[in-house]
Amino acid sequence: MKTEKEKMLSNELYNHKDAELTKERNHAYELTLRYNQTKDDETELRTSILQQLAGKLGNNVVIKPPFQCDYGYNLILGDNVFMNYGCSILDCNVVEIGNNVLMAPNVQIYAAYHPTDHTLRLKDLEYAEREELNLALLTVEEGGVLNGNRNRLEELYQRGVRLITLTWNYENCIGYPNSRNAQEMQKGLKSFGKQVVEEMNEREMLVDVSHLSDGGFWDCIRLSKKPIIASHSNARALCAHPRNLSDEMLCALGECGGVVGLNFYPQFLQSDRSAEVLDIAKHGMHILQKAGEDSVALGTDFDGFEAGKNWIRGIEEIECVWDALKKAGMTERQLDKLSYQNVKRVLGEVL
């Protein structure tokens, strides 16, 4: 059986919390910490530290502090290498820098730390579940970051982004946000926005319609060949806020295989009194009834609002939501789908 280190070096799924790997990272951290505390005239000391750190060190290697790497032994540095200030190398695999190389300040190099075959990466979820690891998805909320440039979508993809919320609260190059103005609400995606949706499908990226106008939502339904999601939206039938989805929209999203993430922001739960945890459950049950039990999930939006004294402040208080959902009639099977299975399914279908 391969060790976790051997798996890492083979671009296989591995547990980064493995004792051997943790010890090696700590060792590299101690060496780089010592290195970053040296002075420019302590060249012999710097060379000595680099010899202990790097897998192979050529002649006349100069690295200006601060410098950071994960392991060090995966670094192969040739002769006459100069790295300017702020270089970071995530050397989960071999990083080779040849002879006569000059690097600018703040260069970052990332070696592969996951399977290079995308079909194997879909097993990340199962692996994380088996090893009891946390797993996160890099997302962007506000497609305006593309600034009308399709090349930026490729850049985001290469940086690991796999979900884009097409709009936030303002018009951008993709389309229009939700609005209480009926004319604004019916505006659809712009020409560039339609291209973005199609390219996101091709690149296997999740299209997120939360914050989007109704017209933009329906354009996504028509254009997308893969499930779309509303990462943090509720039911408009229960709270008539334009950020929420109508029953017709919920049905359409369920039919395309997408998911809706329940939003815990009080103003999106209840419009004429103070919201209660029971309101979260009511929205959850309504979405389940309209979109189907395979399309309800958690969105929370914890990072999007400040919780009051008597409101849920974080995931550590999620148990009260489970209790409310159970009281509202949600079964254990449906709770499992809401808590992770529905999102897991969509990730497998899109990514």
What's the pLDDT score for residue 313? 80
What's the pLDDT score for residue 135? 75
What's the pLDDT score for residue 113? 62
What's the pLDDT score for residue 112? 66
Active site residue 114: yes
Q: Which residue shows structure tokens 């060090």?
A: 72
What's the pLDDT score for residue 121? 60
Q: Extract the residue ranges of the chain whose pLDDT is less than 50.
A: none
Of 166, 183, 165, the residue nearest 242 (C-alpha): 183
Mean pLDDT of the chain: 92
Backbone conformation region of residue 106, classed left if phi is above 0, alpha if psi is from -120 to 50, else beta: left
Question: What are the tokens at 117?
Answer: 């075959």
What's the pLDDT score for residue 346? 95
> What pTM was estimated for this model as a whole?
0.70
Backbone conformation region of residue 70, classed left if phi is above 0, alpha if psi is from -120 to 50, else beta: alpha
What's the pLDDT score for residue 114? 61
What's the pLDDT score for residue 302? 85
What's the pLDDT score for residue 199? 97
- Residue 76 to residue 86: CA distance in whole angstroms: 19
Listing DSSP states for 131-200 in one string gives HT------EEE-GGGGTT-THHHHHHHHTT--EEES--SS--SS--B--SSHHHHT----HHHHHHHHHH
- Residue 289 to residue 91: CA distance in whole angstroms: 48
* Alpha-carbon dihedral sign for residues 91, 108, 200, 258: positive
What's the pLDDT score for residue 226? 96
What's the pLDDT score for residue 181? 96
Query: Out of 16, 114, 211, 283, which one is annotated catalytic?
Result: 114
What's the pLDDT score for residue 16? 82
The dihedral over CA atoms of 204, 344, 138, 300, expressed in degrees to the nearest 10, equals 130
What's the pLDDT score for residue 149? 96
What's the pLDDT score for residue 43? 94
- Residue 27 to residue 280: CA distance in whole angstroms: 47
- Residue 196 to residue 148: CA distance in whole angstroms: 9
The count of other CB atoms within 10 Å of the CB of residue 159 is 10
- Residue 193 to residue 176: CA distance in whole angstroms: 10
